[in-house]
Amino acid sequence: MEHWIRVEPNVKIYVNDINPLGSKTILFIHGWPANHQMFEYQYNQLVPMGYRCIGMDMRGYGNSDKPLEGYGYNRLADDIRCVIGALGLQDITLGGHSTGGAVAVRYMARHQGYGVSKLALFAAAVPSVIQRPGFPYGTTREAIEQIIQATYDDRPKMLHDFGEIFFYRKVSQPFSDWFFQLGLEAASWSTIAVSKAWLEEELFNDLPRIQVPTLILHGVHDQVCFFPLAEAQHQGIRNSVLIPFENSGHGLFYDERDKFNLELSRFAK
C-alpha cells in the first residue's frame, strides 16, 4: 500500500507500507543517496515471516518530494514523526542504515522515541561521520568535501565511485547498475545537502537519551562508516547489543543478507 504523507505544506513523503496486517512492524529509513528500495532483500524475507515492513523515502530521495531545503537531521527526524503519526504506528522497530541510522537516533532523542519500542542501527553514521576533537574514528572532513565537489562536478561518476566501496562482497554488474540508479533517483541538491549536513551534525548527546533496546549491526570492513563508530554507539546507548558482520562492508544488508535478516527478525519479534 502506497502513501504520500504531507509533512510540510508543500512537502509530501512517499511511504511503501508492505503487509499492513503484519503482526510486528519495522519502519526502515534508508541511507544516502538511495531510497527505500535498497531494503528489498529484507522485504522479500521478512514479509513472508509475518512482519509489516514500511519503507519511507526521505525528502529529496526516491518518490518523495524534493524541496530545496530541510536536510538537517532535525527536519528529517520531524518527517519520521509525521509518518509515524499519520499511520498511527505504535510499538514498532525503527531501523536505519547509515545516514538513516543517524536520523533515527535523532528521532529517538528529539521525539522521545514516540511510537518506537525498539531501535535497530545498520552501519549507522553515528555519532559522527567525520573525525572531531576527541573522536578520531570517522573519515576526514576533506574526504566529505571531495564527495560534495564530485557531486557538483559529475554526480554519476561520484555515485559510481561510491558504489565501488559500498559492498565487501563482489556484486554482479546488473546489481551494481540497479544500485547506481537508486542514487540517481535523488535530487542533486538533496544529495549535496545531506553531504554537507555530515560536516555539521553530530549525535554524541543523542545517544544517552535512547531508552529502548537497540540492535547495532555493522560490517567489520565498512569503508564508509568505520567499525569503531559501531563500538562508540554500543558504548553510548544503554541496553544495546552490537553484532559485528565479519564478511560485510557498508552494504551489510546485502553482503550478509541472510544473517542480517535473521538477526533483525529475532530482534523485532
Catalytic residues: 98, 222, 250
Q: Where are the beta strands (DSSP E) in the chain?
A: 2-8, 11-18, 24-29, 51-56, 92-97, 116-122, 214-219, 240-245
The sheet carrying 116-122 orders its strands as 2-8, 11-18, 51-56, 24-29, 92-97, 116-122, 214-219, 240-245
**Do 73 and 59 touch, CB atoms closer than 8 A?**
no
**Do 139 and 130 touch, CB atoms closer than 8 A?**
yes
Burial 165-191 (b: 16+ CB within 10 A, else e): ebbbeebeeeebeebeebbebbbeebb
Q: What DSSP string describes 108-123?
A: HHHSTTTTEEEEEEES
Residue 62 and residue 184: Cα distance in Å, rounded? 9
